[in-house]
Amino acid sequence: MKKFYLLSVLAAATLSLQAAVFTSPGNGTTWTMTSIAAIDTTGVTASEDGKTFTVTENVIISEGDTFQMEDGITIKLAKSVEIDIEGTALMAPAERSLITNTEGTVAPKCIWVKTANATTPLEVKNLDFEYGALKLSPAYGANISDCTFRYQQASVSNGTASLQLGGVGMNSTESYTVRNCTFEYNKRSAIGTPSNASVALLIENNTFNYNDDQNLNYPHINVTACDRGVVIRNNTIVGNREKNLGGGIIVADLMGVTSDAQTLIENNNVSDCRYGIAVYSKQNAIVRDNYLLNNNTEKTPANGGSGINFYEPNGVGLVAKVYRNHIEGSLWGVTVVGCKDVNLGRTDVAEDDENYCPGLNVFINNGNGSEQNGFDGDSEFQRFDLYNNSGNTVYAMNNYWYIGSDASPRVTIMDVEDNPALGQVIYTPWAGTTATGIDTARTARSLTGVKYYNINGVESTTPFQGLNIIVNEYNDGSKTTGKVIH
């Protein structure tokens, strides 16, 4: 049967086998790991039960052909191996499948889907990725849901994110959604897009734990702004305090690829990172309803550690409204460097005025010094809730500043009164300065712990080999559970 199958395929078209790479003929054939393994020269072999496939050479599914992910299989990729899908990809098996490496910490490259002739978004679902990345650049983008990404071994050749979205020169219809996925222990970023390309993004309801495992100053989410919109909401991000350089969220346009970028970052829980949220370069941003806790792992305050950082030194293009955020325990609460207009609360105009912003941000114990986070030196802890490191006026009315009933927020603000080169912060009237007042402000749910259970019910703070039940615990007493394979 195996010879007959091979002859049937060769009768339809020839197979190009150069440099130990299997390239499908592009004649309309639907390929699976089972059918590829049936050909001796492909570098793909199957286990006796037909459920595990080892790939030792690159595989290319050509334009015109289809690759279908089978249900409940395991694909093991050898070092530096990748599967490129230039044709149609069917990547949503009914039964969960695993893409991993062959052994130890061996680093495969990726599965790369780059379908140029797609007319609808690619669906990616029910897949677990380990050690290698998933790289997507199909013409109409993709919807990714209910997947896990862990242990990606980042490098220049393998990429710097476990989920890499978009490519240079993609058309205006390309957009991506990432929902209900888990990202853990990846060497650098969890999600990334190219700095020289812009794709529309919706990233929501995902869990990010302990990424930037190499401790190389990569955020969990590292994406480029887009004229068609970047939305990041309802995600939980927890950094590893033993790895002090991993950040939370960055949305930037460092290479000027957008003209009217729109960004919405809302209702995220970010804790124990070097910084919480960073918005860089020209864009129109709304940052609201985020819970940012103890993002202070940076050991040198001059190098970072903001709950929220806005950075656009030319001061001509970054416009942001910032409201109903909870910012606690950062080295710097909110920092503004340059920028055109960062508005943390303006209530002296009508609610339908374009400059109106409700404020209601909560600032608690943001600052730095020898008493915070183990800093060396003789300096005492100093509060820094809002640092206006620009020449602009920054409005910050109607916010909560946890400083005690007799104090003024002025003591936690850096502006023209501290340095004549800086702009003014207008912080009066304020909403409250005591814990009682702050209790009335809106705060989001925050992750307080992650536990793993093996099939015997044994508990651990790190995953077991094989199947795990993961339990995320939150400060409001609620829990979420899921299954992961390590």
Q: Which residues touch 383 (CB under 8 Å, ≥6 apart)?
A: 365, 366, 367, 403, 411, 412
Q: Does position 304 have pLDDT exceeding 90, yes or no?
A: yes
Residue 365 lies in a domain: yes
Residue 485 has pLDDT above 50, yes or no: no
472 and 408 within one domain: no
8 Å CB contact between 34 and 46: yes
Question: Using one digit for the tens of pLDDT, what is the confidence trace for 390-414?
Answer: 999 999 999 999 887 667 899 999 9
- Residues 335 and 304: their CA atoms lie apart, in Å, by 10
Q: Return d(Cα 309, Cα 288) in angstroms, integer.
A: 14
Residues 6+ apart with CB under 8 A from 183: 148, 149, 150, 162, 163, 190, 191, 206, 207, 208, 209, 211, 220
Pair 296, 438 in one domain: yes
Question: CB-based contacts of 293: which residues, under 8 Å, 6+ apart?
Answer: 269, 270, 271, 272, 326, 328, 329, 446
Cβ neighbours around 182 below 10 Å, total: 21
Is the confidence at residue 21, as pLDDT, over 60? Answer: yes
Residues 288 and 427 in one domain: yes
Same domain membership, residue 425 and residue 288? yes
Which of 9-13, 106-110, 474-478 shows the lowest mean pLDDT across its residues?
9-13
Q: What is the pLDDT of residue 476?
A: 62
Same domain, 291 and 317: yes
Contact (CB, 8 A) for 77 and 102: yes
| Residue 376 confidence (pLDDT) above 50 | no
Residue ranges making up the domain that contains 328: 275-444
Question: 248-267: per-residue pLDDT in tens?
Answer: 999 999 888 888 999 999 99
CA 449, CA 121: separation in Å to the nearest integer? 35
And the tokens for 23? 């390239």
Question: Which pLDDT score, from 0 to 100, does residue 156 have?
Answer: 64
**312 in the same domain as 421:** yes
The number of domains in the chain is 2
Work out the average pLDDT over 28-37. 98
pLDDT (0 to 100) of residue 10: 38
- Assigned domain for 248 exists: no
Nearest CA to 335 out of 235, 410, 425 is that of 425
Task: Round to whole Å and give the CA distance between 382 and 170.
Answer: 47
Task: Tell me the pLDDT band of 443, cut-offs 50, 70 and 90.
Answer: very low
DSSP codes joined into one string, 197-220: ---EEEEES-EEES--TT-SS-EE
Between these two residues, 42 and 375, which has the higher pLDDT value?
42
Residue 424 DSSP symbol: P
Region of poorest pLDDT, from 308-322, 365-379, 419-433 = 365-379
Report how far residue 137's alpha carbon sits from residue 303's, in angstroms, rounded to the nearest whole number: 34
* Phi, psi angles (nearest 5°) of residue 168: -65, 135
Q: For residue 27, give both structure tokens.
A: 């004649």
List, edge to edge, every strand of the sheet that includes 142-145.
122-125, 142-145, 175-179, 200-204, 230-233, 262-266, 283-288, 318-323, 341-343
Q: Dig out the tokens for 371 from the structure.
A: 């008493």
Of residues 272 and 16, which shows the higher confidence score?
Answer: 272
Q: Within a domain: residue 18?
A: no
- Quickly list DSSP for 94-149: SS-EEEEESSTT----EEEE--TT-SSPEEEESEEEESSEEEE--TT-EEEES-EE
- Are 334 and 460 within one domain? no
Q: What is the pLDDT of residue 401?
A: 94
**Of 159, 113, 157, 121, whose CA–CA distance to 137 is shortest?**
113
Is 318 in the same domain as 332?
A: yes
Q: What does DSSP assign to residue 401?
A: E
**How confident is residue 339, by pLDDT bands cut at 50, 70 and 90?**
very high
Q: CA 61 to CA 53: how far, in whole Å? A: 16
Is residue 453 domain-resident? yes
Q: pLDDT tens, 84-136? A: 999 999 999 999 999 999 999 999 999 999 987 788 899 999 999 999 999 99
Q: Say how far apart CA 232 and CA 265 lie, in whole Å.
A: 5
Whether residue 313 is preceded by a cis peptide bond, meaning omega within 30 degrees of 0, is no
Per the CB < 8 A criterion, the answer to whether 194 and 161 are in contact is no
Average pLDDT value for residue range 342-362: 97
Residues 304 and 356 occupy one common structural domain: yes
Whole-number percent of the chain with pLDDT over 90: 70
Kindly state whether residues 465 and 373 are assigned to the same domain.
Answer: no
Name 100's bridge partners. Answer: 76
Mean pLDDT check: name the lowest of 265-269, 270-274, 386-390, 443-447: 443-447
Query: If pLDDT is split at 50, 70 and 90, which confidence band does 190 have?
Result: very high
Range from 106-115, 142-151, 367-376 carrying the lowest mean pLDDT: 367-376
pLDDT at position 349: 97
Among residues 160, 166, 311, which one has the least CA distance to residue 226?
A: 166
467 & 420 share domain: no
CA proximity to 87, closest of 125, 126, 59: 59
Residue 318 lies in a domain: yes
Is residue 330 within 8 A of residue 275, CB to CB? The reply is yes
Whether the per-residue pLDDT at 172 is higher than 80: the answer is no
165: in domain: no
Of 451 and 147, the structure prediction assigns the larger pLDDT to: 147
- pLDDT of residue 442 exceeding 50, the answer is no
pLDDT at site 167? 75
52-55 vs 247-252, strand pairing mode: unpaired
Indicate whether 271 pLDDT > 70. yes
Residues 472 and 436 occupy one common structural domain:
no
In tens, the pLDDT along 44-61 reads: 999 999 999 999 999 999
With a cut of 50, say whether residue 4 has pLDDT above it: no
Nearest CA to 415 out of 347, 342, 354 is that of 342
Q: What is the largest CA-CA distance in the chain?
A: 88
Average pLDDT score, the chain? 87
Q: Is residue 429 situated within a structural domain?
A: yes
In contact, 235 and 205? CB cutoff 8 Å: yes
Residue 33 φ/ψ, nearest 5 degrees: -65, -35
Task: Note the pLDDT of residue 169.
Answer: 53
Is the per-residue pLDDT at 81 higher than 70?
Answer: yes
Instruction: Classify residue 87: in a domain, yes or no.
Output: no
